[in-house]
Amino acid sequence: MTGRDRFIDVISSIIPVLIVILLLGLFCFLLNKSVTQKENDKEIVEIYSVDLEANGKGSFILGCGNYKDEPYYFVYQATDDGGKKLQRYHYDYVTIYDNLEEDEQPYMDITYSWEVKMYLPKDSIIQKYDVNLK
């Protein structure tokens, strides 16, 4: 076997290994890009008060309670076909911002890393309240 034959044998055995490494690298890159894109994607969704009675202008009732012994916020979320669907969001993933003006529609900014930002009218958060309200 000549030096040229050995060189060809070495190259022919290295090329499949390099191809496998390149394909694995490409696969990892695409997988990482897909996961990163999902985490950075977000959805803006209009939300509506859980209060079933007519609300005065600027008021917003955010439902709070437990589901299977876990604390949740409950809101009606606008659907694409014009309906409203009751949704629940775990307390740990929700941050509330009460900084909207009275005439602005409350909404949620939902990222697919499960972080939820709720934007509500100013003074929606009541620190002191009477549980005997009628």
CB 84 within 8 A of CB 48: yes
Give yes or no: residues 57 and 101 share one domain.
yes
Q: How confident is the model at residue 109 (pLDDT cuts 50, 70, 90)?
A: confident
25 shares a domain with 54: no
Q: Tell me, yes or no, whether 95 and 112 share the same domain.
A: yes
In a domain, 134, yes or no: no
- In terms of residue numbers, what domain contains 105? 42-121
pLDDT digits (tens, 9 = 90+) for 34-91: 555 455 577 788 888 765 454 444 456 677 888 888 898 888 888 889 888 888 888 8
In a domain? residue 3: yes
Q: How far apart are CA 63 and CA 60, in angstroms?
A: 10
Say yes or no: 61 and 103 in one domain: yes
**Above 50 in pLDDT, residue 118?**
yes
